[in-house]
Structure 1
Amino acid sequence: MYLFKSKRLGFRNWTDRDIKPMTEICADPEVMRFFPSTMDEEQTAEMIEKFKTIFKEKGYTFYAVELLESKELIGFIGFSYTAFEGEFKPMVEIGWRLAKACWNKGLATEGAQRCLDYARENLDFETVFSFTAVLNKPSERVMQKIGMTFQKEFDHPRVEDGHKLKPHVLYKLNL
């Protein structure tokens, strides 16, 4: 059962049957090229449990996203509460991670826009942020397409010094 839908996507909470297909996505070096490492099944299961907990506590999460046509899990799009140390946190973050087969089809933009519409209608957000590695131009383009504005560059506190993924960009959208 979907919490909400877009033209091509269904958004729902996570189940244990999502662990295997999401592990395939998170184990793909191309999908994870803007993260410090890929994820194995145990790490993916922990991530999904975290998403379930966030949903229970906050009423939102990085939602499991399916193609409506095939009911295939293609990744996640949605919101998280980011509380790591930094001058602009805590904050509500919008983010996405999709299977490589779903890239360059407008799905991340469609899904992120639908999540923002859902938030305006159902969630008590005033502002949403998004951030990614400076090198992740595809994700940054999605941020721009959904109306977010560039705020600043910063060094991600959870990425080791000297790592090519430490420099990040921060975008913001007032709802």
Structure 2
Amino acid sequence: MADPTTPVTELRTERLLLRQWRPEDRAPFAALNDDPGVMEHFPGRLTREASDAMADRIEAFLAEHGWGLWATEVLETGEFIGFVGLSIPRFEEHFTPCVEIGWRLARSSWGRGYAPEAARAALAHAFGPLGLDEVVAMTIPANDRSQSVMRKIGMARDESADFDHPLIAEGDPTRRHVLYRVSRGSWPGAGTATQK
């Protein structure tokens, strides 16, 4: 029987490798998902079980599509620092269906420009090999750090598109979200990654 999985594309930037997940990524991923600083703008921290379930979903998506939320490591050290990549939201909203760009990195890696560096590589893949016309990003209004990354990679806020995230409970302070967009025609960053 043929293998139903698609080979996972790897992306390489000057300092980072975006790759398939490995079993040894699970423990540091669970640690960052339990970090109150990393999870400040999410409904809550994740247990190890919930973190592993999220990694399972990410790996299944990568296996099906060949792209997704890549495990991200620092080339110089081989350290796993989280994920950066592309996904398809699991909910319906006025802007879906769509492809979303997202990232979640360990606090120890913040402030080094890793998120925009890796995100530019993911956008290059989205607008190049994948041939997408648009990519979106979303977060809560108070998440200035993520919105800063969105602007750095050429995205612009669509102020008419704010929404209540349907997978977050009513009354939760993280339910209200802002939406950023970038189109292939407006994206300034060609040639920022190499595909492996």
Deviation at 1:104, TM superposition (A): 1.5
- TM-score by length of structure 2 reads 0.85
Amino acid in structure 2 at the alignment position of 1:172: R
Highest Rg: 1 or 2? 2
User: What are structure 2's unaligned runs of at least 5 residues?
Assistant: 1-7, 185-196
Q: Deviations over 1:56-110 (max 9, x none)?
A: 2222111000011110000000001113021111210000000001111111111
- Measured in 2, the distance between the counterparts of 1:130 and 1:121 equals 18
- Show the counterpart of 2:190: none
Distance 1:36 1:26 in 2: 12
Counterpart selection for 1:81 from 88, 94, 99: 88
Q: Answer with 41-50 or 72-81: which moved more.
A: 41-50
8 Å CA contact retained: 1:54, 1:61: yes
1:22-75 deviation per Cα after TM superposition (whole angstroms, max 9, x unaligned): 111111011001111111211111111111111122221110000111100000
The corresponding residue for 1:161 is 170
The answer as to whether partners of 2:9 and 2:66 remain within 8 angstroms in 1 is: no
2:46 is equivalent to residue 44 of structure 1:
no
- 1:115 is displaced (CA, Å) by 1.1
1:9 to 12, 16, 40: 16
Aligned counterpart, 2:137: 130
C-alpha contact 2:9 2:67 (8 A) present in aligned 1: no
**Matched residues, percent identical?**
37
Gaps of 5+ in 1: none
1:65 partner SS: strand
Q: Indicate conservation of the 8 Å contact 2:136/2:179, yes or no.
A: yes
The two structures, once aligned, show a CA RMSD in angstroms of: 1.5
Q: Which amino acid aligns with 2:27?
A: K
Distance in 2 of aligned mates of 1:16 and 1:74? 14
Count residues with an aligned counterpart.
175
Instruction: Determine helix, strand or coil for the equivalent of 1:87.
Output: coil
TM-score, length of structure 1 as denominator length: 0.95
